[in-house]
Amino acid sequence: MFCLKMTKHVKIWASIYLFVTRPDIISTVEFNHTGELLATGDKGGRVVIFQREPESKTEPFSQGEYNVYSTFQSHEPEFDYLKSLEIEEKINKIRWLPQQNAAHFLLSTNDKTIKLWKVSERDKRPEGYNLKDEEGRIKDISTVTSLQVPVLKPMDLMVEVSPRRVFANAHTYHVNSISVNSDYETYMSADDLRINLWHLDITDRSFNIVDIKPANMEDLTEVITAAEFHPHHCNLFVYSSSKGTLRLCDMREAALCDKHSKLFEEPEDPSARSFFSEIISSVSDVKFSHSGRYLLTRDYLTAKVWDLNMESKPLETYQVHDYLRSKLCSLYENDCIFDKFECAWNGSDSVIMTGAYNNFFRMFDRNTKRDVTLEASRESSKPRAVLKPRRVCAAGGKRRKDDISVDSLDFTKKILHTAWHPNENIIAIAATNNLYIFQDKLNSEMH
């Protein structure tokens, strides 16, 4: 069903760049709006940007390869002396701004501080200063006997990354989401209990648009897990909660959107309730479809598609790894049950993707209702290798050849972060401290 081929560089890059140190564990992956750039953030506070290579007439398979474009340190570890709290440098989210000129801009955030970065190229340097020598030192004015016009001389291409804005001191709790608005002037940041609205040009203040903190913290029953703006309507945004609910809010109704416009919640089946029900129902990620008509959510065991016009139940429910239901007790003991998996749409909103354990990731075709399990591994990292579907055999079930028993799954190998190219069938998979990029070379559209 899904014939995906790995681009040639993946084998090279995965073996050279990513087996270094534990801080290099990837914590976020994001394509820009054209798909020509791909940014990753890691636990060490570093951002690595990859650029897609242009198509080569001599090497027809080279198009789609992503090579390192720029690397920079986005955040450093800090210490909050008032609260005696360490603030780690881990990059929680990266979001690109739509390109307005030759430069690129992106937002990156750790638990507390959001930064706006400018990424630009320079291939010329000025020469012939009147008051500076060739090494940049200031000349003695008395030695300047004539004036000359500075000129620009060609130089090797240099990628410059510079911080343009720092948005700090607005979140008491850990930031879990940032989302750029469709007006391209504002963005929002969400932590466990509040969502703030920022203007990209103003760093010293933000507007609180959601606040679910109770007067008494003992009355706290849920927290915000993710938030995102509507792709086309700048007044609409959605946020998810640890109770498995989604709230669609309209900023035209009130300055503080504590009262939602729509509440998306699936009724719980009393017969299926267990000790783990509340934990596994927590929504770890929410994404608007490109059309803006649907919402994609991910909880621990399932991925769901919601129609904005139907609040009572999800339009589609996909079982990601239902074979883990019998393992919830051991997953609770090793804390894996609290893993936060992300999800992604393809460019046409017809296929969804999300991660699982054992370096598996799942794809679901919404039209044909077919699904596939694929594996991101170094064994399959040969150039232009075709990924073979994998199958997990539930405990006690009949096992075919090449099936993997649920008891032999490696829960330390998990794919939490995924991204899909906005227009093409190119996907980026973060498997712990490895980044895999797969591309469908045969088909222009998933089928």
Alpha helices, H only, 9-168: 9-16
**Alpha-carbon span 278 to 263, nearest angstrom:** 18
- Quick one: three-class SS letters along 187-255? EEEECCCEEEEEECCCCCCCEEEEECCCCCHHHCCCCEEEEEECCCCCCEEEEEECCCCEEEEECCCCC
Query: Phi and psi at residue 202, in whole multiples of 5°?
Result: -120, 120
134: tokens are 């060739």
The pair of three-digit structure tokens given for residue 338, joined into one six-digit string:
């609290």
* Token couple for 34: 């054209």
Rg of the chain over CA atoms, in angstroms? Answer: 24
How far is 238 from 330, CA to CA, in rounded Å? Answer: 33
Q: Cβ distance 65 to 38 under 8 Å?
A: no
417: closest CA among 90, 3, 181? Answer: 90
Q: Is 151 exposed, middle or buried (0-12, 13-18, 19+ CB in 10 A)?
A: exposed
Q: Which residues pair with 318 in a beta bridge?
A: 303
Q: What would the two tokens of residue 271 be?
A: 């017969």
In angstroms, the CA 301 to CA 288 distance is 20
Burial-class residue 335 by CB neighbours within 10 Å (0-12, 13-18, 19+): exposed
Per-residue pLDDT of the chain (447 residues; tens, 9 = 90+): 444 444 433 333 333 334 334 778 999 999 999 999 999 999 999 999 999 988 765 565 555 689 999 999 999 999 888 778 899 999 999 999 999 999 999 999 999 999 999 999 887 777 777 777 767 788 777 777 778 788 877 777 789 999 999 999 899 999 999 999 999 999 999 999 999 999 999 999 999 999 999 999 999 999 999 999 999 999 999 999 999 999 999 999 988 888 899 999 998 888 778 889 999 999 999 999 999 999 999 999 999 999 999 999 999 999 999 999 999 999 999 999 999 999 999 999 999 999 999 999 999 999 999 999 999 987 766 666 788 889 888 766 667 777 888 888 999 999 999 999 999 999 999 998 899 999 886 443 333
Residue 38 backbone phi and psi in degrees, to 5: -135, 125
> Which among 182, 26, 168 is positioned nearest to 93, based on CA atoms?
26
Q: Which tokens hold the place of 28?
A: 């976020």
Residue 262, token pair as written in the block = 């729509």
How far is Cα 138 from Cα 131, in angstroms, rounded to an integer? Answer: 6
Separation between Cα atoms, residue 213 and residue 423, nearest integer Å: 39
Residue 418 has φ and ψ, to the nearest 5°, of -135, 155
What residue segments make up the domains of the chain, in order of their start?
1-20+266-446, 26-110+113-168
